[in-house]
Structure 1
Amino acid sequence: MFKVPDHQVAGHRASQGVLGPLIDDSGRFYKPLQSDERGSNEVVFYTQFSSNKEIPNHIRKFFSVYYDTQLIEASDGSGLLPHLVLEDITSTRTNPSIMDVKIGSRTWYPQASEDYITKCLMKDRQTTSLPLGFRISGLQIYGSEQSGYWKPDKKRVLGFTAEDVRVVLRKFVSSNSSDDFGTEPDCAFAAAVYGGSTGILAQLLKLKAWFEDQTIYHFYSCSVLMVYEKEPILNGKSPSAAVKLVDFAHVLDGQGVIDHNFLGGLCSLIKFISEILKDQPHDLTKDNSGSEIACANDCNKI
């Protein structure tokens, strides 16, 4: 009934002796609850978020559907363990390209232990979190049936420089993305995936507008997941690009204060993507990419 996800790009991968998420054939994703406060914190967040009437409907779509918790056999062979039961956002996609982007220049949260803060601060400084306000945590880019996926390992991803991030965001929407860094990305799918009224940039801008006002939550060490498929584009259809927020073990009460840490990182990601679109030829009579880029430039005000 349960199996290891084929399209997991970050976190621990489930196996005998290693605890990790599982999926089933009904489109559900089973995330093991961590035994410390992180597990209970994430349950509390999903429970409260699901019933919070202050969350606009157009914002809820950025969060996976929560189906409660369930005791299932753990992937590490340790027996029954409570798991969060969530929507598997890749279940309807055959060959998804996926990128996990951890948002915020600061991934540690107030009241964390000194050891935890030291650990997080070191990683923030050694990656692009501090200079850029975000870092890529994992990715896979589908090339073709022949080439398969380009999926760099965790060590390679954490070693990305700011220039690497620029290149990878371009590779993510390119037709020649199956190799490492030897070829200049052609950005063949940039307009279809990043641009348009339903593209990734438009979705990120909707999130930005909410974060400019919302003071309910502060999201520490949370990721933006970007997903799409290339094959529909080649057939003249929508790539079904989606943006989701994931990982809520360190969400705190906003206490009436805007989450500037998350907002700043989100704006930085938006600027990187808008710069890619600026370099692409597009017909403004067919979409509103130009207005989206103009809106993205407002991030300079943050």
Structure 2
Amino acid sequence: MFKVPDHQVAGHRASQGVLGPLIDDSGRFYKPLQSDERGSKEMVFYTGFSSNKEIPNHIRKFFPVYYGTQLIEASDGSGLLPHLVLEDIVSSHTNPSIMDVKIGARTWYPQASEDYITKCVLKDRATTSLSLGFRISGLQVYGSEQSGYWKPNKKRVQGFTADDVRLILRKFVSSNPSDDFGTEPDRAFAAAVYGGSTGILAQLLTLKAWFEDQTFYHFYSCSVLILYEKEPILNGKRPCATVKLVDFAHVLDGQGVIDHNFLGGLCSLIKFISEILNNLPDISPKNSEKD
């Protein structure tokens, strides 16, 4: 009934002896409820968010649907363990290209232990979190039936520089992704995926407008998940480009204050994607959708 997700790009992958998320065939995603305070905090967030009537409907779509918790057999073989039951975001996709982007120049939360803060600060400085306000945590880009997915390993992703991030954001919407970082991506799908009234940029701008006002929550170490599928574009249709927020183990009460840490990182990501759209060739590639 339960199986390991095929399209997980970040975090611990479930296996015998390793605790990780599972999915089923009904479109649900089972995330282990961690035994420390992270698990209970994430459950509290989902419960409160689901019942918060002040969250606009057009914002709710950016969060996975929450179905409660369920005891299921853990992937590490340790027996029954409570899991958060969530919407499986990629269940309707066949060959999704996915990117996990951790938002915020600061990934640690104020009440964290000194050891945890030190660990996060070192990682924020070693990656692009501190310099850009976000970092890419993982990705996969579907090429073709023959080439399959391009998926750089975790060590390579952790070493991304600011220039690498610019390149990766172009590769993500290209027909020629590869491990060759010297190859210029063709950006064949940039206009269709990033642009348009329902594209990634428009969705990020909608989120930005909400974060400029919302003071309910402060999101630390939360990710923006970006995904799309190439087949609709190749068939002359608009892609189902999707933005979702995930990972809420470190969400705090906003106490009436705007979440500038998350907002700043989101604005930075928007700037990078806008630059790609503003520098596309005058003649769009034949596989790109014209608005």
What is the TM-score with the length of structure 1 in the denominator?
0.93
Task: Structure 1: state its 5+ residue gaps.
Answer: 288-302
Inter-partner Cα distance in structure 2 for 1:72 and 1:209: 39
Contact (CA 8 Å) 1:109, 1:220: kept in 2 or not?
yes
Task: Check conservation: 1:149, 1:178, Cα contact below 8 A.
Answer: no
* Partner SS for 1:256: coil
2: CA distance between counterparts of 1:177 and 1:51? 42
Name the SS for the 1:261 alignment partner. Answer: helix
Q: Deviations over 1:71-92 (max 9, x none)?
A: 0000000000000000001000
Corresponding residue for residue 155 of structure 1 = 155
Query: Does the residue aligned with 1:10 lie in a helix, a strand or coil?
Result: coil
1:247 aligns with 2:252: no
1:191–1:282 Cα contact (<8 Å) kept: no
Question: Pairwise mapping of residues 229-268 of structure 1 onto structure 2 (< 5 A)?
Answer: 229-268=229-268
User: Using the alignment, how far apart are the partners of 2:64 and 2:89 within structure 1?
Assistant: 7
> Quick one: structure 1 residues 99 and 141, their matched pair in 2 at CA, closer, same or farther if it must change by over 3 Å?
same
Q: How many residues align?
A: 285
The residue that corresponds to 1:14 in the other structure is: 14
Could you give the per-residue CA deviations for residues 36-77 of structure 1, whole angstroms, max 9, x where no partner exists? Answer: 000000000000000101100000000000000000000000
- 1:89-238 equivalences under 5 Å are 89-238=89-238
- SS of the equivalent of 2:90 reads coil
Q: Which consecutive unaligned segments of at least 5 residues does structure 2 have?
A: 285-289
Question: Per-residue displacement from partner, 1:209-253 (whole Å, max 9, x unpaired)?
Answer: 000000000000000000000111000112100000000000000
Verify the 8 A CA contact 1:147 1:178 in the aligned structure 2: no
Give yes or no for contact 1:3–1:24 (8 Å, CA) kept in 2.
yes
TM-score after normalising by structure 2: 0.97
Contact 2:3 2:22 in 1 (8 A): yes
Give the superposition deviation at 1:153.
1.0
Distance across 2 between alignment mates of 1:193 and 1:142: 14
Distance in structure 1 (CA, Å) of the matches to 2:245 and 2:283: 29
What is the deviation of 1:179?
3.7
The 4+ residue runs of structure 1 with deviation greater than 6 A are: none
Q: RMSD value over aligned CA atoms?
A: 1.0
SS in 1 for 2:143: strand
The 8 Å contact of residues 142 and 178 in structure 1, kept in 2 or not, is answered as no
Deviations 1:243-278 (A, max 9, x none): 000000000000000000000000000000000000
Measure the CA separation in 1 of the matches of 2:273 and 2:3: 34
Task: Work out the percentage of aligned pairs sharing the same amino acid.
Answer: 88
Alpha-carbon distance in structure 2 between the residues aligned to 1:111 and 1:271:
31
Q: Which residue identity lines up with residue 47 of structure 2 in the other structure? A: T
Query: What is the rounded CA distance, in whole Å, between the counterparts of 1:278 and 1:175 in structure 2?
Result: 19
**1:100 CA drift (Å):** 0.1
Conserved 8 A contact 2:152-2:179: no
1:296 maps to none
Task: Quote the Cα distance in structure 2 between the aligned partners of 1:265 and 1:20.
Answer: 27
Q: CA deviation at 1:182?
A: 3.2
Code of the aligned partner of 2:236: G
C-alpha change, 1:51 and 1:282, in structure 2 (3 Å) is: farther
